[in-house]
Structure 1
Amino acid sequence: MMDELSLLQRIVVWILPVIFAITVHEVAHGWVAQRYGDNTASALGRLTLNPIKHMDLVGTIILPGLLLLTGTGFVFGWAKPVPVDVRNFKNPRQDMAIVALAGPVSNLLMALAWALLARVGVIVNVESISMPLIYMGIAGISINIALAVLNLLPIPPLDGSRILTGMLPSRLAWQYNQLERYGFIILLVLLYTKILNVVLEYPMYIVQNMFMSIAGL
């Protein structure tokens, strides 16, 4: 469906969903961290929906832009991580696991919001109104599902690794977290060998179909 759009139309359709997806994801981490006693993000002015405060040159602008230009149909990105100081938590590993989970959960909630927006477009059935809502809804569902599923992978420093760390015994958790220095390399290898595509394809297909059904598409 997105293939029917020109490059300019694709940029217009994707820009808001991408910015909201990565910004709210990071704010969710900081907001939940604050609930558990860590005000680091708030003190640094990062508990804001102002995307400029969260933009990462590569993850927020260059990578999503390249994916749009190449017409891959798959767009994702990232923002600057919101700083969290686990020393302010009563139960550092367990509380950090909940803080980490907040990011993917926020993306799933946003996917639901975009699905409902697309549903409005389906119901309205006036092309000049419905098509922008449907296209933007599809983009919002896609980017948020991609971020949620990708971040739940247990590869340090992705959110999934923080969640797993909270479940492991202390010694094993410490050993596991030593992988973080190699995390980016592991991700690049998985991406280059297309193993990441194989791992993510089925769960993304299932979850995306669920939200598309909500959207009436």
Structure 2
Amino acid sequence: MDIIRKYYEKFRSLNPKNTEIKLLVIILIIGLFLFRGIHEFEFSWELVISLAVLVFSMTCHEVAHGYVAYKFGDDTAKREGRITLNPLKHLDLTGMILPIMLLLSGSGFLIGWAKPVPVNFSRLKPNRLGLFCVSIAGITVNFIFAAIALVIIRVFGRNFDINGLVITTLLSVYIINLALGLFNLIPVTPLDGGRIIYSIAGTKVRDFYNQIEKYGIVIILFLAYIGFVSDYLSVVLSFFLSLTGINIGLGL
């Protein structure tokens, strides 16, 4: 009960208005996914590898945000011990709901988010450039990981067993990091896409994002439930996979 109370208080602090309604919406969405998809769940080692890659990739994503913020003058993440590759420092209960929902819904990929690294944007100097660089840092790391995995697959792929552990891991690194980068480009705060737009936009757009940010998690989960996240990632991932010559079924 103490753990539940702790997360509830955290959720309430992030969502001071209509807390119970927002929490109820999230619970209902999770319940619908459980009802719809739990009978289709099957365990596999590929799933274990994908989850491990997802956790590591999300951790590096958040570390990148904190490190770049530190370089631009904000040491908040460093003082709170968040510039670390220890995944336990970054895992977030709410952020892990989405991959569970996608898993139970039979999706062909996993996506989620870690606990956002604390950044005091007012301390970034120069402010606009700092905000922009902090916003793209996590996405950049994910795309770099995806590129490295792709190069290894293309150069050494013929030497690997197509059903082996190495190629399975490399494909997971490529697809999951590509998906993480693309997912975070969705222009809804607190995702990076929203932060990027916020960093370069005018006052009216910034005011709009300030208003909707407190509903961001609910919006993202709703987009996942109606299939927007799956459809968006399916189209874009399939495009990139076709460009790179990797032919696998995403099953999205």
TM over 0.5: yes
Whether 1:186 aligns to 2:219 is yes
Match of 1:118 in 2: 153
1:6-31 deviations in Å (ceiling 9; x for gaps): 72412332133112210110001011
Cα distance in 1 for partners of 2:218, 2:51 equals 28
Aligned partner of 1:47 among 83, 102, 111: 83
Q: Please say if residues 141 and 208 of structure 1, whose CA atoms lie closer than 8 Å, have aligned partners that are also in contact.
A: no
What is the 5 A alignment of 1:130-169? 131-169=164-202
Aligned-residue identity in percent? 38
Q: Please say if residues 124 and 130 of structure 1, whose CA atoms lie closer than 8 Å, have aligned partners that are also in contact.
A: no
Query: Does the C-alpha gap of structure 1 residues 119 and 172 become closer, same or farther in structure 2, counting only changes over 3 Å?
Result: closer
TM-score by length of structure 1 reads 0.82
Q: Please say if residues 155 and 183 of structure 1, whose CA atoms lie closer than 8 Å, have aligned partners that are also in contact.
A: yes
Whether 1:90 aligns to 2:154 is no
Per-residue deviation at 1:176? 3.0
How well do the aligned residues superpose, as a CA RMSD in angstroms? 2.6
The unaligned stretches of length 5 or more in structure 2 are 1-41
Aligned partner of 1:206 among 235, 239, 248: 239
**What code does the residue aligned with 1:54 have?**
H
Whether 1:11 aligns to 2:33 is no
Q: Where in structure 1 do 4 or more consecutive aligned residues deviate above 6 Å?
A: none
Query: Does the C-alpha gap of structure 1 residues 35 and 208 become closer, same or farther in structure 2, counting only changes over 3 Å?
Result: farther
TM-score by length of structure 2 reads 0.72
Per-residue deviation at 1:42? 0.9
Number of aligned residue pairs: 207
